[in-house]
Chains A and B, each alone.
Chain A
């Protein structure tokens, strides 16, 4: 007498997918809500200074060019190169202020080609807390020579460490 096998002989069992889909949708909604595409121009290598008086702007400017100025650091946070760099500008890192003038002039021409006056573009400077002020002033001067007039300095909101 043939013995009927217990489970394989019966109908197909289906796993209920509903709770998994619910959870996945919850996760998807969560990540969609907290993703901030505004910060994509920020470079994480820049160690911004902290200031209790810095607060996020209430009105976003229409045209904004972000300059990330900082040092190349190792895992311990020590500088690997004594020269400050302009990070990820036009897809490359360059020493400031020496190599940045051409790149900023190029950006200025691109804005002009798009019928946007460079004077209407806000230069947002995200500078490392240890960059000498003289370097930032030279960067501002280079930007002014390229036709930019509006400047804003970034800082982390919060008390200094």
Chain B
């Protein structure tokens, strides 16, 4: 006598509906929580509590002055007492000058060339940020970024305090 095996008669089917429900829920969750954002970069600022000297006394004292126009635009970029002009070209020029100074100061300062940026309080933040970047980094011919050996500090132009 031949017994009928179970597989002969029917194949057991697992219900997929529970898994599909969960997968759809996950899909909807990830779709709704998706934020399309552009990559963000950062510039570091050397800042310690008031009263603490960040940059020790040093023979080299680089001061960058950012002067604002009445509407908060960049009117002048000064490196020491020398004017570099206004606008994006001046900030690029500032970057080249700081790069040269940082190279020259190698060995003279322990941990990077100290640079103080004095920006007018009314200056739009975008110019301060670009000047900050120009004093810290430079773009190499192959497109990569190189960190300059500098320590950049934001100071208030009125008092010179941090």
Kindly report which residue of chain A lies nearest to residue B132, judged by CB atoms. Answer: A153
Q: Is A28's CB under 8 angstroms from B47's CB?
A: no
Q: Is B154's CB under 8 angstroms from A137's CB?
A: yes
Interface residues on B, range: 35 or more
By a CB distance below 8 angstroms, the chain A residues around B20 are: 17, 21, 24
Q: Is B42's CB under 8 angstroms from A49's CB?
A: no
Q: Give Cα A7 to B48, complex, Å.
A: 81
Q: Smallest distance from the beta carbon of B84 to chain A beta carbons, Å? A: 17
Interface residue SS majority, chain B: mixed
Q: Is B124's CB under 8 angstroms from A124's CB?
A: no
Q: Smallest distance from the beta carbon of A161 to chain B beta carbons, Å? A: 10
Within 8 A of B (CB), among A120-140: 124, 126-137, 140
Within 8 A of B (CB), among A29-53: 31-32, 34-36, 39-40, 42, 44, 48-53
Q: Is A24's CB under 8 angstroms from B27's CB?
A: yes
Binary contact readout B1-37 vs A (1 if CB under 8 angstroms, 0 otherwise)? 0000000000000001000100110110011011101
Tell me the A residues contacting B by CB distance below 8 Å: 17, 21, 24-25, 27-28, 31-32, 34-36, 39-40, 42, 44, 48-57, 124, 126-137, 140-141, 144-145, 147, 149-158, 160
